[in-house]
Structure 1
């Protein structure tokens, strides 16, 4: 990677221009990023709703819910399915996988629903809906006024809604709580009978008229003209003028019915701070900026309030913008504080303003480049992405610290500046590249984490990855250029060891002797040459000698004779001979002791590891922490049979508690209807949106409020839900399923009673509701068939009597009104039994003669016709015709002639889980120890005697936590494997990376200890911190081992290489760790309180892990390296000795063989020699004898 540095140094002006462009576009990108609370999440749930007017929960279950569930359950997209069958409606919730395309899911569900549509009762048309975080209202307002409700509602519809819809980014404005108008058509029974008109014909005429039909196009001289048959109904008079058939001819509707616009029945009541109110919900477009939309809408409200008059007031019940802005502002402040702390740490270590500024520039540059990446990638600035940027403040400076420290060390040895920078970067480029890649690589497994955890934290991982890779680029390109321009090579102040001082003194004496023997000019020349060769030191000042502190340049010159390098580029080995600094002196005794007693260090490490394992069970666990929002929700579920007026009175008791609480700033309550999309529509309930006073966390007051609510009597069930938590389940849900309803309800009651005693449970609720009276109309199919009636037709007649038959809608004065047809009214059970409905017409006898005609005429009431036609054929025909017409009218029968009308008791809602009858007991944990409460719930469930036919499953927050923790655990294992692969590629060894992997579990020591000390729970953000630590803790060790390996490759002995490498890397390791730690301190302390659920646990984990891992890197890693490499050396030495011994044996054998060969050769040669010698001797002796 050093080629980037060479390229940058050769194109310094271009690098400067690129830096300026990055700053400009980074600022532009920061301003262009949309500001959101959380990343856009597609809810992996779809809802199928169906309305079955007038049906009981049992009828809805059997006729609507069961067929729909049968059609939906086989779909591959469906993971889980729950349903609620209520009186007149069915709601089926389908859970799918995160990441699935919502449009594809809707199409698949719609196809399944359309296939089962023919099996559903007439008029039942299911709808498929999905929801994402973009569908949450940006702003929800309560509107109060001194004007009457009708006037206020009209003004909201006519003035406010159109004005707010014009705001850029607003997609929809919903008005809720206003009274609505409907067109009521009430039949006058007597007039209907007198005119001989039919109620069914009236309904048909109403449905068939008022809707124009396109009949085609007509060609004319002026071109083609479309032909439209009929006209729209736009007034009540037009309805009155509709014509139906009567006995004596056409009859206007007004002749048999009263037609008028009336108030629709009140279905909901809304109050804000005790005053009646209406509500407005403002939805934004998917690509709009939440904060901008909120500000634009809020800016229009004062003007609109003034326009409406009547003391109209808009009160914010829900607004995303202030919390988003506050969170972003707080995180920015903490990030700036962290930046300042990191810069101060660097300044303390480097003691150079120029070097500190050069290093610190990498922080804003890296973050601005990351913002450019987010902007181009279409991401938003939310609590997750901004939290990643804040966390990265301390980490992005690490690479620059290592680079600038290496450059300063090179400068201290003198030489050419360009060459020094290249050599310094080349020395550390591989190490910082590997360390950055390991830090980034740990985020790769998050791409395979499914569910809400993966969806939420992928933007976090992307942001941190871009920032860290940007920091590497800055360290290799921009920092060297800035160092070339601004980092001066000045004489350094260093302190020497005794041996080095002795060498300098010896060199000085030699130089002085030389100076005395030469001329003054020669002495000056020699001095100048030595200073020039040694260069000027940059890192620090004067040298301590026996004469005191002298300039470093003179010391270098004095030490030249002792072997100091005169080259511009200093080899790494020269660093081993560098003076020991004061900071290094604090470390040398530690590393010396550790390397001399490696076994003792290993034993101590094992003890620490065991202590870490002992601390784990003491940790509290949670899913997400408190986001710090100042809002909570209260749901009041009223007892079955409670009407709207009674519910309003009961809700006032809850309001009294809220008013008396000084920590509550405002509240809004909606009874009988949903409030801003938050309420449950499974029964009559009230929903309170409560805003705490600024600076008051909703979580801090929720437990006390719940205790006060529990003390109320006769108000139904009041449950508080903290809205300050991040997305996800907030309760532990115990789901029971069984086909035996009685056993299921009995077991549910036992479970609920047992869980009420669970420690840490704030509240326990059950969805088993008290039975309520229901009027059940059971149709006798045979009797109904005899009267030519069907069950659907009978239901329609009953509906007309009870609440009117829905005919359709008409637009009158630009306002849409529902049209309802009312027939006979029935307000009691007896009136319902006596309700008259059309039966089978009577078949008249055939007329014979005049008498018959007269009789028939008289019998049917056609007296005039009969009298006139007596004895005449014409009269007879007329009379017979009239008689036949009267006989064709259906006769009226009582409802109880074809059905049994009984009052029974039944559950108001029937619930299914995966097509089985089910109930749910929900436990709301108190505090932040979800794990402990979950364990207590499981233990309590084990004590309940559950029948075999009942199955029990635990879900909700417990299931989400287990799933998230298990997936993140697997992600950590994958991250470790990836880091190992990178380190194997870096060190080209399988064993050395194992040394670094050993550091990972010890990093958890500090993290767990600090979590316990700060009483912080282990949640998802803390788990992400542990994942980050896997990459962080090995970075310093990589830089350390890389330098030791450099020394070893150049022949340095093992222990000196370890001690020397650890000494030289001591300062950069401390600098990087301290800079990161102090940059995270503001977040760990939560100084501003913004984004604490993201930044605080993560910062605590990283700080604790860095402390323990830094100590580990400086002590245990050198020890493990010593043991590993020492063992390798001993094995190599044994092989060498063995080979030497084998070689000596072979040499000895060869020598012996040579000797033997030589001896044999000598002996062979001596066979002639000795004989000749003997002969000679003999001859000689013979000669002597002769003599």
Structure 2
């Protein structure tokens, strides 16, 4: 009680402390990061490797598996996942929750560098980065121009915009999407190669020796030290035209004789489309621990500078701003909190009918919230939907502390006690019940600190917000409230109805032995008390039957409703933005895929209405091999796959679920050979999906890929019977078209060729020399360097015959230098006098190899080094929990997996199971913590049972209102259930403390219970109705926290009813015949 005395003796110190809290709170709000969710701290590292042209089998065997073997040396690994397609391998290394990620990153980098020493020549060091669910694009920087080509836009984005983006605080700067990196291309004519009998390998070797970067060095001449550059690297790309391919005897052959040099770009990999037109864009990616709002604000501030470095005919715009969803979520919770403050104030005014008392109570709400913000800031937390939900959740309960004090002050004042004395005694008398109530609410959140993984990161911010607010409220009720009461309340009884004041005074007078006050005219509250007493007198004789029926019915209904209610991780975000993944027939060229994407966009406009489609942005094809890191931000499995983001107008009010079902029907009819899958499009849904493209995924893993496929096909057949599943399809391209070149090594050896020479000859025809020979050119204007590569135009290699007729070797003999067709070309024949009578043999690819079309795997996925295939799906018309169980049942119907084959449900389903297991365990642990706390205070297990008897009613109220409103049980509603449990137990404590005190004064347990119910009815109703009023705006909103508010309302309504009607009966049953003496073992307490 010292804190109350200290506050009353040093009121100015308390006021100064309050002012300090307010000032620090404003500073904290300005400096705290704002985001939709807290940092989820997913312990994962991505290793991304590119190698242009390398097939999926090669990437898996020579790249992916080598990395995985070396990563096993890294301590703390939980599991390793990998996805491998042509040109790219993405390896995800997940760690145990307690792993030091800085040390893990260093070890991963060291192991990756060591692994590359065992990889094929030309393997670059990989990209290694921390990446989690929060590392997502917060918008797209789109470059558009009516005059520039995509190649020009790509170079501008890469060399001018990207450096500026990298300097934005909290942002990452991935490579541009939509173009290919600028390159100097030696485009060789396949017919000229055959004519001159030149292989691709000769040109590559000529480029390597004729354009070589060598250090300049210095020459000392007199007093000067001159820089002495040698033009071994050609300063002008057109000088490459005169680069000799053949030297020595006979006529020289130059690059210009067999092709041309172009300032072009690398081989086409994909197109970006903005509003249906080709473009280039850079995803503005935020770090996982950065604030979405802060990054976007800094980015928009940097836009004028970015525009200034671009030519006048190029415009840059910021599209698909994801911060608006974050701002809306934060704003919604803030507005709900403000309304939640006003409505409880009105409820208190209705009960107390005293503006001054109401002002005192309401004042403590923002001060408690500000104190909580200061505490969150000191703990390094951010302003996000979880911390704001915690603050909004605590508003209703914050009024309890001050309300109990004020109500008791009025009781003392009505009894004629001097104001200062009345304030002090009222605060002292309520100190212990208030402290117990606060501890009960705080205790329900203690288990969150023992959770692990995502659940822990989501719950701790909310728990801290509620805990700090409750502690601040209790402190203010014992410090600021008595000071304000002495300054503001009147000495005489004022503002409280006579009936209520006299009744309150009578209660206090009876408690202190002064006898009842004068008779008064009963009012509405008195009539309610009389009715409650009559009801309890009626039920008391049959209390055993009533309580037995209550426990049986409530527990049975809780179990029934819990097993049948829909379960989700998070409620639907209600976003008007969506993402669609388009999968054309496997291996389709990106040019053909682009036409299907444009047709899909037309169908979207037709379904939604063209005026309702605000914008669209898509990428068709796979990421360029020079930019494999782009696959971490947008994964496509080949040139046949595209991803489009579509933003519908907010005022269109389109039912997204119905819209998607209609789109599936129209697309299946219009483009039947193309598969579609809807994915979360806005940042809120993407983070809530924790990186999973679809909520349902079944992984079939084992060391034998063929066996995996066979069993997966059986599972697919059974899953197709689940009516709620949508977009069910294979997760990998298992039938990728191929062109197999089978070298006859014996025949090649007879002709003096090795498999390496044959393969190197084909490099310019199939891909380019980029990865097998590093040749650079420096742009003297910009100062940037670009690669020089040899390649055959893609439109010249279109059939097996084109491949078979491609030169297979470089010639070393003079007669082999004579080109084909010498007898037909007299002018060239003059260069080879005496050779017209002989026709040397010049091996082609068809002479040493067979060329056949085939089918291969387009993607290899692995889990802990076991190959796997996956089945992905969305769902509609059901909930995640129920659909997940149906998927598990489908796997069982498929039969027992073959030996060494494992079938696992992944995506959101296991996360839902783990999260709910932690939440249920946390709820049980919270009840145990409260029970132990009460046991320590009351020194009697019986009273603990009385207080905890309201728990079934609270849970029943939560599940009932969720069922009636069609709300799923999710993380948000579970938070509401936990909060309702704490508040309901706190109300039970208020009644039980009063009842036990009355029983110890000599009354029977039944009389004490009824009397306590009457005397505590007003404060319990007042605080409960105030909290329900505070939750109404949240419950009626369409935001993420609506389910939280509904759960609190349902739990509070049922708990209030049970506390006032059933708890007295339980008290009477358990406490009848209970001892009233002390439980102390100390001899002085027994009179010895």
Shorter-chain TM-score above 0.5:
yes
- Partner Cα separation in structure 2 for residue 700 and residue 312 of structure 1: 39
TM-score w.r.t. the length of structure 1 is: 0.78
* Equivalent in the alignment of 1:417: 419
- Contact residue 1004 and residue 1072 of structure 2 kept, 8 A: no
* Equivalent in the alignment of 2:858: 908
**1:6-85 equivalence runs, <5 A:** 6-73=5-72, 75-85=74-84
- Partner Cα separation in structure 1 for residue 518 and residue 861 of structure 2: 78
- Partner Cα separation in structure 1 for residue 396 and residue 142 of structure 2: 44
- Contact residue 137 and residue 676 of structure 1 kept, 8 A: no
Return the offset for 1:643: 1.2
Return the offset for 1:303: 9.5
Q: Does 1:430 align with 2:432?
A: yes
1:212 to 212, 215, 219: 215
Alpha carbons of structure 1 residues 947 and 43: separation in structure 2 relative to 1, 3 Å: closer
* Equivalent in the alignment of 2:185: 184
* Equivalent in the alignment of 2:663: 705
- Contact residue 149 and residue 178 of structure 1 kept, 8 A: no
- Partner Cα separation in structure 2 for residue 636 and residue 167 of structure 1: 33
- Contact residue 389 and residue 463 of structure 1 kept, 8 A: yes
Q: Does 1:645 align with 2:591?
A: yes
Alpha carbons of structure 1 residues 706 and 470: separation in structure 2 relative to 1, 3 Å: farther
Post-superposition Cα deviations, 1:798-843, rounded to whole Å, max 9, x if no partner, equal 213333211244331324432102489865434434544448979x
Return the offset for 1:1028: 2.3
1:984 to 935, 941, 948: 935
1:747 to 701, 711, 724: 711
Q: Does 1:147 align with 2:150?
A: no
- Contact residue 636 and residue 642 of structure 2 kept, 8 A: no
Return the offset for 1:25: 2.4
Post-superposition Cα deviations, 1:263-289, rounded to whole Å, max 9, x if no partner, equal 443322222223333323334577765
Alpha carbons of structure 1 residues 88 and 25: separation in structure 2 relative to 1, 3 Å: closer
Alpha carbons of structure 1 residues 789 and 43: separation in structure 2 relative to 1, 3 Å: farther
- Partner Cα separation in structure 2 for residue 370 and residue 1106 of structure 1: 23
2:206 to 186, 202, 206: 202
Alpha carbons of structure 1 residues 490 and 228: separation in structure 2 relative to 1, 3 Å: farther
- Partner Cα separation in structure 1 for residue 1003 and residue 587 of structure 2: 90
Secondary structure in structure 2 of the residue aligned to 1:396: helix
Secondary structure in structure 1 of the residue aligned to 2:602: helix
* Equivalent in the alignment of 1:268: 270
Alpha carbons of structure 1 residues 682 and 942: separation in structure 2 relative to 1, 3 Å: same
Return the offset for 1:295: 4.1
Alpha carbons of structure 1 residues 8 and 700: separation in structure 2 relative to 1, 3 Å: farther
- Contact residue 816 and residue 842 of structure 2 kept, 8 A: no
- Partner Cα separation in structure 1 for residue 938 and residue 1033 of structure 2: 37
Q: Does 1:772 align with 2:775?
A: no
Post-superposition Cα deviations, 1:933-961, rounded to whole Å, max 9, x if no partner, equal 12222333333345534432222221111
- Partner Cα separation in structure 1 for residue 646 and residue 161 of structure 2: 25
Alpha carbons of structure 1 residues 165 and 116: separation in structure 2 relative to 1, 3 Å: closer
Post-superposition Cα deviations, 1:305-327, rounded to whole Å, max 9, x if no partner, equal 79979887666542122222222
- Contact residue 200 and residue 763 of structure 2 kept, 8 A: no
Q: Does 1:402 align with 2:409?
A: no
Secondary structure in structure 2 of the residue aligned to 1:35: coil
Alpha carbons of structure 1 residues 836 and 307: separation in structure 2 relative to 1, 3 Å: closer
**1:830-841 equivalence runs, <5 A:** 830-838=801-809
Return the offset for 1:1015: 0.7
- Partner Cα separation in structure 2 for residue 190 and residue 747 of structure 1: 49
Return the offset for 1:782: 6.8
Which region of structure 1 is more displaced relative to structure 2, 649-658 or 947-956? 947-956
2:537 to 592, 614, 634: 592
Return the offset for 1:1096: 1.3
Alpha carbons of structure 1 residues 153 and 898: separation in structure 2 relative to 1, 3 Å: closer
**1:1112-1131 equivalence runs, <5 A:** 1112-1129=1058-1075
* Equivalent in the alignment of 1:1041: 992
Q: Which has the higher contact order (CA 8 A, sep 6+)?
A: 2
- Partner Cα separation in structure 2 for residue 464 and residue 858 of structure 1: 89
* Equivalent in the alignment of 1:132: 132
- Contact residue 619 and residue 644 of structure 2 kept, 8 A: yes
Which region of structure 1 is more displaced relative to structure 2, 728-737 or 283-292? 283-292
- Contact residue 638 and residue 716 of structure 1 kept, 8 A: yes
* Equivalent in the alignment of 1:505: none
2:616 to 667, 670, 680: 667
* Equivalent in the alignment of 2:486: 484
**1:815-894 equivalence runs, <5 A:** 815-822=784-791, 828-838=799-809, 893-894=843-844
Post-superposition Cα deviations, 1:976-1017, rounded to whole Å, max 9, x if no partner, equal 221122112221223311222222122111111101110111
* Equivalent in the alignment of 1:943: 893
**1:226-625 equivalence runs, <5 A:** 234-236=235-237, 246-247=247-248, 258-284=260-286, 289-295=291-297, 297-298=299-300, 317-491=319-493, 539-541=496-498, 572-574=512-514, 581-609=526-554, 610-625=556-571
Return the offset for 1:361: 1.0
TM-score w.r.t. the length of structure 2 is: 0.85
- Partner Cα separation in structure 2 for residue 1047 and residue 41 of structure 1: 50
* Equivalent in the alignment of 1:687: 643
Post-superposition Cα deviations, 1:765-787, rounded to whole Å, max 9, x if no partner, equal 22253523312234566777888
Alpha carbons of structure 1 residues 931 and 51: separation in structure 2 relative to 1, 3 Å: same
Return the offset for 1:1130: 11
2:1027 to 1076, 1088, 1092: 1076
Return the offset for 1:689: 0.3
Which region of structure 1 is more displaced relative to structure 2, 166-175 or 586-595? 166-175
Alpha carbons of structure 1 residues 893 and 1071: separation in structure 2 relative to 1, 3 Å: same
Which region of structure 1 is more displaced relative to structure 2, 687-696 or 819-828? 819-828
Secondary structure in structure 2 of the residue aligned to 1:80: strand
Return the offset for 1:342: 0.7
Which region of structure 1 is more displaced relative to structure 2, 288-297 or 795-804? 288-297
- Contact residue 980 and residue 993 of structure 1 kept, 8 A: yes
Post-superposition Cα deviations, 1:831-874, rounded to whole Å, max 9, x if no partner, equal 434544448979xxxxxxxxxxxxxx99999xxxxxxxxxxxxx
Return the offset for 1:436: 1.0
- Contact residue 357 and residue 406 of structure 2 kept, 8 A: yes
- Partner Cα separation in structure 2 for residue 252 and residue 841 of structure 1: 14
- Partner Cα separation in structure 1 for residue 576 and residue 527 of structure 2: 52
Secondary structure in structure 2 of the residue aligned to 1:393: helix
- Partner Cα separation in structure 1 for residue 88 and residue 162 of structure 2: 30
* Equivalent in the alignment of 1:631: 577
Alpha carbons of structure 1 residues 802 and 303: separation in structure 2 relative to 1, 3 Å: closer
Return the offset for 1:104: 3.2
Unaligned stretches of 5+ in structure 1?
493-537, 544-550, 843-856, 862-889, 1133-1187
Alpha carbons of structure 1 residues 1115 and 713: separation in structure 2 relative to 1, 3 Å: same
Return the offset for 1:368: 1.1
How many aligned positions are there?
A: 1019
- Contact residue 948 and residue 985 of structure 2 kept, 8 A: yes
- Partner Cα separation in structure 1 for residue 733 and residue 292 of structure 2: 40
Alpha carbons of structure 1 residues 157 and 921: separation in structure 2 relative to 1, 3 Å: closer
* Equivalent in the alignment of 1:965: 916
Which region of structure 1 is more displaced relative to structure 2, 119-128 or 1063-1072? 119-128
1:756 to 715, 720, 723: 720
Secondary structure in structure 2 of the residue aligned to 1:348: helix
Alpha carbons of structure 1 residues 92 and 299: separation in structure 2 relative to 1, 3 Å: closer
* Equivalent in the alignment of 1:810: 777
Return the offset for 1:47: 2.8
- Partner Cα separation in structure 2 for residue 618 and residue 961 of structure 1: 15
